[in-house]
Amino acid sequence: MIITLMDDAPAATVADLLATAAALGLPARSLAYDDGGTVVGVDGSLPGDLAGLPGVADIREAHKPYMLASREHRQRTVVRVGDVAIGGDEPVVMAGPCVVEGRDELIEAARAVKAAGATILRGGAYKPRTSPYAFQGLGELGLRHLAEAREVTGLPVVTEVLEPDQVELVAGYADMLQIGSRNMQNYPLLRRAGSAGRPVLLKRGFSSTVEEWLMAAEYILAHGNPNVVLCERGIRGFDPAFRFNLDLNAVPMLKELTHLPVVVDPSHGTGRRSLVTRMAMAGIASGADGLIVEVHPEPNRAKCDGAQTITPGELLAICQRVDAIAALTRLDSASVEQVMAVA
Spatial contact of 226 and 258, defined as CB atoms under 8 Å apart: no
Q: How far is CA 69 from CA 63, 100, 129, 173, 318, in A?
A: 11, 32, 30, 27, 30
Name the segment binding a copy of itself (CB under 8 A); options: 92-100, 108-116, 142-150, 163-171: 163-171
By CB under 8 A, tell whether 343 contacts a copy of itself: yes
Three-state DSSP class for 144?
helix
Comparing CB distances to a copy of itself, the nearer of 49 and 239 is: 239
Instruction: Give whichever of 38 and 166 is closer to a copy of itself, judged by the CB atom.
Output: 166
Q: How far apart are CA 290 and CA 283, in angstroms?
A: 8
Q: What's the closest the beta carbon of residue 10 comes to a copy of itself, in angstroms?
A: 25
Q: Minimum CB separation from a copy of itself for residue 248, in Å?
A: 5
In terms of residues, how long is the chain?
A: 343
Taking CB under 8 A as the rule, which mask of x and - marks residues 119-158 in contact with a copy of itself?
Answer: ---------xxxxxx-------------------------
Q: Which of 133, 149, 141 is nearest to 97 (CA)?
A: 149
Distances (CA, A) of 300 to 216, 307, 322: 35, 7, 26
In angstroms, the CA 77 to CA 35 distance is 9
Number of residues that bind a copy of itself (CB under 8 A): 79
Question: Which segment (75-83, 150-158, 167-175, 233-241) binds a copy of itself by CB under 8 A?
Answer: 233-241
Torsion of CA 235, 276, 175, 32, to 10 degrees: -50
**Binding flag, residue 211, a copy of itself (CB under 8 A):** yes
Question: How far apart are alpha carbons 39 and 68 in whole angstroms?
Answer: 7
Q: Is 195 an interacting residue with respect to a copy of itself (CB under 8 A)?
A: no
- Of 66-125, binders to a copy of itself (CB under 8 A) are none
* Binding of residue 1 to a copy of itself (CB under 8 A): no
Q: Cα 80 to the chain's mean position, in Å?
A: 11
Binding status of residue 334 toward a copy of itself by CB under 8 A: no
Comparing CB distances to a copy of itself, the nearer of 175 and 232 is 232
Q: What is residue 82's DSSP assignment?
A: T
Which among 3-11, 105-113, 299-307, 327-335 is the span making contact with a copy of itself, rule CB under 8 A?
A: 327-335
The DSSP call for residue 281 is: H
* Under rule CB under 8 A, residue 33 binds a copy of itself: no
**Contact between 235 and a copy of itself per CB under 8 A:** yes
Give CA–CA dist 120/292, Å, rounded: 9
> Residues 165, 168, 195, 197: which binds a copy of itself (CB under 8 A)?
165
Question: Which region among 3-11, 52-60, 147-155, 334-342 touches a copy of itself (by CB under 8 A)?
Answer: 334-342
Query: Are 123 and 292 contacting, i.e. CB atoms less than 8 angstroms apart?
Result: no
- Binding residues among 244-283 for a copy of itself as defined by CB under 8 A: 245-249, 251-253, 256, 269-270, 272, 274-275, 277-279, 281-283
The residue within the footprint of a copy of itself, chosen from 11, 35, 102, 236 (CB under 8 A), is: 236
State in angstroms the smallest separation of the CB of 31 from a copy of itself.
12
> How does DSSP classify residue 55?
T
Q: Counting contacts by CB under 8 A, is residue 342 touching a copy of itself?
A: yes
170, 161 in Cβ contact below 8 A? yes
Cα gap 31→83, rounded to integer Å: 23
Binding span for a copy of itself by CB under 8 A among 99-107, 144-152, 169-177, 332-340: 332-340
* Piece of the chain touching a copy of itself by CB under 8 A; list 7-15, 102-110, 181-189, 304-312: 181-189
End-to-end CA gap in the chain: 47
Q: Which of 172, 145, 183, 175 is nearest to 159 (CA)?
A: 175
Asked if 222 interacts with a copy of itself (CB under 8 A), we say yes
